[in-house]
Amino acid sequence: MNNSVVNTGRLLAAGLRALLVLTVLTGVLYPLAVTGVAQALFDDKANGSEIKADGKVVGSSLIGQQGYSLDYFQPRPANGLGVNSVNTQYRLILSGATNRSGDNPELIKWVKEAKAKVVKDNSTADYKVVPAEVPADAVTSSGSGLDPDISPRYADLQVHRVAERNGLPVDQVRKLVEEHTDGRTLGFMGEPRVNVLELNVALRALTEGD
């Protein structure tokens, strides 16, 4: 047989053996070891930071949910979120963004409609929302479509509506929001935020406790 063919074959065989050995190390041992440590030290987080209300799991504190009634605080829009199109034996959340550019007519329309809805929904008898005061996160979709947070400004803007619909004093709801507001980590990392699911769980506990 041709010498170079033999050599190439040998080289490819060495490559395959290298790949298999390194696959055992980095594709089997490494993830298993990390999983072992993670499950031993942080089992709650490693399994998705599930959050309970009345003993029932109501989601993950990291995964934003859609479809809250107006009695509750509203999340950001999620126009890029989808459901799976393959392996349809499941109904999986498909994370994603809209990927629309700043001059995209559809995005302009979405922002306009979202803003009008935020103004309309949150204006009550004694509180009128000024369109210019609606923060940007209230009318735009996040990168994942699963943003669990809203800005403190957007939460504050919803306080009057939530108070009115639940028959609670405005100050009490505002205090609840403040308790669930996280500042920047160490004072400078990221942006201040309010976790919508955690806030709504606390709100429900408050209303059902009455």
Q: Considering beta carbons, is residue 69 or 126 the nearer one to other proteins?
A: 69
| Kind plus residue range of the DSSP H or E element containing 195 | strand 193-195
For the record, the structure tokens of 103 come out as: 């001059």
If one asks whether residue 158 binds other proteins (CB under 8 A), the answer comes out as no
Q: Quick one: which of 188, 208, 209, 210 contacts other proteins (CB under 8 A)?
A: 188
Count residues binding other proteins (CB under 8 A): 105
Q: Residues with Cβ < 8 Å from 5, sequence gap 6 or more?
A: none
If one asks whether residue 101 binds other proteins (CB under 8 A), the answer comes out as yes
If one asks whether residue 160 binds other proteins (CB under 8 A), the answer comes out as no
Q: How far is the CB of 195 from other proteins (least distance, A)?
A: 9
- Separation between Cα atoms, residue 173 and residue 154, nearest integer Å: 14
Contact at 8 Å (CB) between 59 and 50? yes
- Separation between Cα atoms, residue 99 and residue 115, nearest integer Å: 19
Bridge-based pairing of strands 149-150 and 193-195 is: antiparallel
If one asks whether residue 104 binds other proteins (CB under 8 A), the answer comes out as yes
If one asks whether residue 177 binds other proteins (CB under 8 A), the answer comes out as no
- The per-residue DSSP string of 159-182 comes to HHHHHHHHT--HHHHHHHHHHTEE
- Separation between Cα atoms, residue 192 and residue 189, nearest integer Å: 9
Considering only residues 7 to 66 of the shown chain, the ones binding other proteins according to CB under 8 A are 8, 11-23, 25-28, 30-31, 33-35, 37-39, 41-42, 45-50, 53, 56-60, 62-65
Site string for other proteins, 117-156 (x = CB under 8 A): ---------------x-xxxx-xxxxxxxxxxxxx-----
Q: Considering beta carbons, is residue 6 or 37 the nearer one to other proteins?
A: 37
